[in-house]
Structure 1
Amino acid sequence: MPNRPTVTVDGAAIRQLRMLAGCEMADLADRVGITRSYLSRIETGTRRQVRPRVYAALRTALEASDQQLLADHENGGEHHERHP
């Protein structure tokens, strides 16, 4: 099975941006096209790797930059793919 590209995200940053935007978890999950449970796992750090489609949808929904959403390489995160 070939490896599919993934992006390592900062779940705490995603949660903070969502809350600053006044967005409920279920609303953001709907806008991104994922389940509330999956979003919860991302925000709590249980799930750090996401597919590029999910990353792009999170970035768009939160109106965020790569610097805001990607895990910091210095803290053990790996950047597999970047989106302009």
Structure 2
Amino acid sequence: MQPQESSIQYSRWANGSRDAVSVAAGPGTEEASSWQRISWKLCSGKLGISMKVLSGVALFWAVFILGYVTGYYVHKCK
């Protein structure tokens, strides 16, 4: 695994009231930024809320079915 190169610049205004930090990442930033955009779209706003609700409902049903099947085989009459 290769270390990522990045440059961080810090500048302060003369009166000291504003600080600025800028980060420029090295190679591979296009992949990271596109992944961040997709992740941000899927995890925020109305789409993000609906994705979280749907994944919660799907997880509930998966656990419910797994528990039902497990309980069936554990308590099966011989």
TM-score by length of 1: 0.22
Higher RCO, Cα 8 Å, sep 6+: 1
TM-score by length of 2: 0.23
Q: Which has the higher helix share?
A: 2
Q: Which has the higher strand share?
A: 2
Which structure has the larger Rg? 2
